[in-house]
A and B are shown apart, each in its own frame.
Chain A
Amino acid sequence: MSESSTAPLTTSDGVPLKVSLAKALRREKLRSFLLIAPLLFFILISFVAPIADMLFRSVENAIVPDTLPRTVVALEDWDGSKGELPGEPVYAALAADLKEAVKEKLHTRLGSRLNYDMPGASSMFRSTGRKVEKFTDGNYKEQFIKADKDWGNINFWEGLKQLSSRYTDGYFLSAIDMERDSTGIHFKPEEQRIYLMLFGRTLMLSVAITVSCLVLGYPVAWLLANLPLRTSNLLMILVLLPFWTSLLVRTSAWKVLLQDQGVINDLLVWAHIISNDNRLPLINNQTGTIIAMTHILLPFMILPLFSVMKTISPSYMRAAKSLGATDWTAFWRVYFPQTIPGIGAGAILVFILAIGYYITPELVGGTSGIFISNRIAYHISSSLNWGLAAALGTILLGVVLLMFVLYDKIVGIDNVKLG
């Protein structure tokens, strides 16, 4: 007896049972992995890889060492704090680099890159590029300064030296309103700071939008879940209707309603609630953004709430009341706690969608109601400063993940239910 209990169990072909079981389990796992492999592959290719590539741009700076390899090496020994311009070898290296860059038409590209940090670099490289081919050998320093006097500006050389490494933290510094110069890292002058304020405002307005969606959406979801089927179906169509209308149409409709000479102000003036000279500023400010975005995101709050409320049996409320609870107590102590998973799901959906919105704030937000995403869009499509856009995007992503972790700590992510 005691012998058989210590000897390992084996299968009929003599393989220990443990090994055989593990093997079967592995096969099972492999099979299920193969089943999800196409989706995983698809997500990697179409979602994770592009995002990773975009995020990588926030530190990537290869264009400088790649276009000016000799100059970067020659600059290594130079120290700008002495207040002297680099020597002739640096200018000679620059001439050699530029001549090659002009042939490949890379010099203007580099100029645009440097221009993000040093305004003026763009035209400097463009005009010097036209002249550098005619430079005679020797005395390069003089020829460069003659071509563009900024080549004799020590600040430019210091900037170039800072940007000469393959990776840079410059974009991230810019994204939090800081800069680096010879004295170290510090905040930009007050009148140039913008991003931190915009991050703060984006978070604040997104919270406001989430809260107003909840306040407006909760009663609607309750009605949807408790009305007779025919009425609630009609109501459901009304909730879904905005989904079938173009975002731009909905936003423009709010313009017509909210502007100074718009429908709402006209009605209020007509009803003598406000005077004609004191029309309410409802659009082109934060109010406009909150109103229009609450409307647009409301279904994302109502639907999860509805699907959670639908599963709550009405007999709980009846039981509470039969045990002597008032309407309010029955709602607050019995019904409301059961809807919290729906609130959690709706709030996360609305908040995350709100944080990345930019079309609506651009159209109705004026100057005080725009989001950080409007600046990201500007850097992607207008200024082509994709590095800065990537840095801003990375920070935004980080903030969202942080909020997620906080949410998990406070409410618990298990408590989220979509139905």
Chain B
Amino acid sequence: MKFKTTVLAATAMALASSVAVAKDMTIVSWGGAYQASQKNAYTDPYVKDHPDINIIWDESSAEAVAKLRAMNEAGNLTWDLVDVDAADSFRLCDEGLAMEIDPDKLLAPAPDGTPASEDFGAQLVNSCYIPQIVYSTTFGYRNDVAEWNGATPTSICDVFDLEKFPGKRALEKRPINNVEWALLCDGVSKDELYDVLATDEGVERALAKLDTIKDNVVWWSAAAETPQLLADKEVVIGSTYNGRLFSAIAEQDQPIDMLWDAQVFSFDGWIIPTGLPEDRLAMVEDFVKFATDTQRLADQAAYISYGPARASSAPLVGKHATLGIDMAPHMPTDPANSKNVIYYNFEFWADHRDDIDAKFQAWLAQ
């Protein structure tokens, strides 16, 4: 009898303690190489120090905005931390689905004591967003196209030059970035881009420029398509995220080169969903503080070629974890690559995306 009681008590205690120990934290990200880099740089070292936390990955970032809204309406929040791109963070912040944060209170200062708000600087694009990386949407081209007679594209406008650079192009099936590039090559200066785009005539002008190459465009909707299309010789030049091109070039040895001209900078980062219970919020805040400190952001660059969002992380960027090559020259933020850069205009696109998208889709369908 006594033995039985002891066993029961021990079991009960083991159960109770295991319940107390296992704290689940659900992190939403994009899957693939990007999520792997976050796992290597953020969660693996964090879990080593916090063995009581169990990380659950959910690869839903692409539908995060809609799903968060649905969770919010249903009153059942199952996510703790969500990785979204900066444009989505505007919608989430506006809808009240993402929590507003105080960067200096939540985020770690730089090693030299610079407060986080200064270290992140302009990258803190709205009051909810905690950026991790700077990525760019830019072009890659095949370097073995016989019809080009040895010429290589050096300017964004070469994309629109079918005579000098014949062949198919891959562009994203949405207006963002494409209309900016079209206007730049139609003679609009970078400072006036969005003033022009805000008018009906400006949008028409951009679409007219895109019309000149429309018959030679393959439109993509998933960023992985462009490297594939390039590798299959389906297209000779195409836009996608720079990290996708890096892995095609450096990891898969494809005959592709980068065209950095007029690359569009944007960010990817965290938002904390509104309405987390206090204990979960405390857990998430502790993790975010760790995962966005100077060293962690620099570490991530060893696994994927995206630039850290903190100024203080840049000098710490080292070599690729498995290839052993220097990562700095492959960063979109590298001075040699970022001579001519467009900054994604979040406010403009938050206002005009639906409107221009409708016109763009109608133009596509013609």
Q: Which A residues have a C-beta under 8 Å from some C-beta of B? A: 105-106, 108-109, 111-112, 115-116, 119-123, 126, 191-194, 197-198, 259-262, 284, 362-363, 366-368, 370, 375, 378, 380-386
Pair B353/A383 contact, Cβ less than 8 Å: yes
Q: Which of B8-52 contact A (CB under 8 A)?
A: none
Q: Identify A122's interface contact among B63, B234, B350, B365, CB under 8 A.
A: B350
B289 contacts the other chain (CB 8 A): no
Of the A-B pairs whose beta carbons lie under 8 Å apart in the complex, a sample of 23, sorted by A's number, is A106-B96, A108-B94, A108-B95, A112-B95, A119-B352, A122-B350, A122-B351, A126-B347, A191-B359, A191-B363, A194-B365, A259-B234, A261-B232, A284-B218, A284-B219, A362-B221, A363-B221, A366-B219, A367-B219, A368-B365, A384-B65, A384-B69, A384-B95
Chief secondary structure at chain B's binding surface: helix
| CA A99 to CA B364, docked complex, whole Å | 42
User: Which residue of chain A has the shortest Cβ distance to B94 in the bound complex?
Assistant: A108
Pair B358/A194 contact, Cβ less than 8 Å: yes
Pair A120/B352 contact, Cβ less than 8 Å: yes
Measured CB to CB, the closest approach of chain A to B199, in angstroms, equals: 11
Measured CB to CB, the closest approach of chain A to B259, in angstroms, equals: 22
A259-B351 in contact given A194-B358, A384-B69 (Cβ < 8 Å): no
B354 contacts the other chain (CB 8 A): yes
B66 contacts the other chain (CB 8 A): yes
Pair B365/A367 contact, Cβ less than 8 Å: yes
Q: Beta-carbon contacts of B331-366 to A below 8 Å, as 1s and 0s?
A: 000000000000000010011111101110111110
Contacts of B232 in A (CB 8 A): 259, 261-262
B204 contacts the other chain (CB 8 A): yes
A192-B234 in contact given A368-B365, A384-B95 (Cβ < 8 Å): no
Pair B355/A119 contact, Cβ less than 8 Å: yes
Q: Beta-carbon contacts of B208-223 to A below 8 Å, as 1s and 0s?
A: 0000000000110100
Q: Identify B95's interface contact among A109, A381, A382, CB under 8 A.
A: A109
Q: Which B residues have a C-beta under 8 Å from some C-beta of A? A: 62-63, 65-66, 69, 91, 93-96, 168, 173, 204, 218-219, 221, 232-234, 347, 350-355, 357-359, 361-365
User: Which residue of chain B has the shortest Cβ distance to A124 in the bound complex?
Assistant: B351
Contacts of A121 in B (CB 8 A): 351
User: Which residue of chain B has the shortest Cβ distance to A362 in the bound complex?
Assistant: B221
| CA A105 to CA B95, docked complex, whole Å | 8
Known: A123-B347, A363-B221, A367-B364. 11 other contacts (CB 8 A): A108-B94, A111-B94, A126-B94, A126-B347, A191-B362, A194-B362, A367-B219, A380-B66, A383-B357, A384-B65, A385-B354
Q: Identify B358's interface contact among A106, A192, A370, CB under 8 A.
A: A192
Pair A381/B94 contact, Cβ less than 8 Å: no
Q: Identify B96's interface contact among A108, A193, A382, CB under 8 A.
A: A108
| CA A259 to CA B220, docked complex, whole Å | 14
A108-B93 in contact given A192-B359, A381-B63 (Cβ < 8 Å): yes
| CA A359 to CA B14, docked complex, whole Å | 47
User: Which residue of chain A has the shortest Cβ distance to B217 in the bound complex?
Assistant: A367
Pair A367/B362 contact, Cβ less than 8 Å: no
Pair B234/A197 contact, Cβ less than 8 Å: no
| CA A152 to CA B358, docked complex, whole Å | 26
Contacts of B361 in A (CB 8 A): 194, 375
User: Which residue of chain A has the shortest Cβ distance to B353 in the bound complex?
Assistant: A383
Contacts of B357 in A (CB 8 A): 378, 383
| CA A367 to CA B204, docked complex, whole Å | 19
A123-B91 in contact given A366-B218, A381-B66 (Cβ < 8 Å): no
| CA A367 to CA B174, docked complex, whole Å | 11
| CA A192 to CA B360, docked complex, whole Å | 8
Contacts of B362 in A (CB 8 A): 191-194
| CA A115 to CA B91, docked complex, whole Å | 12
User: Which residue of chain A has the shortest Cβ distance to B64 in the bound complex?
Assistant: A381
| CA A3 to CA B165, docked complex, whole Å | 107
Contacts of B219 in A (CB 8 A): 284, 366-367
| CA A386 to CA B173, docked complex, whole Å | 21
Contacts of A191 in B (CB 8 A): 204, 359, 362-363
User: Which residue of chain B has the shortest Cβ distance to A130 in the bound complex?
Assistant: B127
| CA A39 to CA B363, docked complex, whole Å | 47
Measured CB to CB, the closest approach of chain B to A316, in angstroms, equals: 49
Measured CB to CB, the closest approach of chain A to B282, in angstroms, equals: 22
Measured CB to CB, the closest approach of chain A to B63, in angstroms, equals: 5
A115-B354 in contact given A109-B95, A259-B232, A384-B66 (Cβ < 8 Å): yes
| CA A370 to CA B359, docked complex, whole Å | 16
Contacts of B358 in A (CB 8 A): 192, 194
Contacts of A384 in B (CB 8 A): 65-66, 69, 91, 95
Measured CB to CB, the closest approach of chain B to A173, in angstroms, equals: 14
User: Which residue of chain A has the shortest Cβ distance to B235 in the bound complex?
Assistant: A260
| CA A386 to CA B65, docked complex, whole Å | 12
Pair A197/B365 contact, Cβ less than 8 Å: yes
| CA A383 to CA B8, docked complex, whole Å | 56
Pair B94/A109 contact, Cβ less than 8 Å: yes
User: Which residue of chain A has the shortest Cβ distance to B88 in the bound complex?
Assistant: A382
Contacts of A366 in B (CB 8 A): 218-219
Contacts of B63 in A (CB 8 A): 381
Contacts of A116 in B (CB 8 A): 354
| CA A123 to CA B66, docked complex, whole Å | 21
| CA A111 to CA B96, docked complex, whole Å | 12
User: Which residue of chain B has the shortest Cβ distance to A370 in the bound complex?
Assistant: B365
Measured CB to CB, the closest approach of chain B to A181, in angstroms, equals: 15
Chain A CB within 10 A, most for which of B168, B173, B219, B350: B350
Pair A119/B365 contact, Cβ less than 8 Å: no
Measured CB to CB, the closest approach of chain B to A167, in angstroms, equals: 19
| CA A235 to CA B239, docked complex, whole Å | 44
| CA A260 to CA B236, docked complex, whole Å | 13
Pair A115/B66 contact, Cβ less than 8 Å: no
Pair B354/A383 contact, Cβ less than 8 Å: yes
| CA A119 to CA B355, docked complex, whole Å | 7
Contacts of A197 in B (CB 8 A): 365
Q: Identify A119's interface contact among B94, B204, B354, CB under 8 A.
A: B354
Contacts of B173 in A (CB 8 A): 367
User: Which residue of chain A has the shortest Cβ distance to B204 in the bound complex?
Assistant: A191
Measured CB to CB, the closest approach of chain A to B299, in angstroms, equals: 32
Contacts of B218 in A (CB 8 A): 284, 366
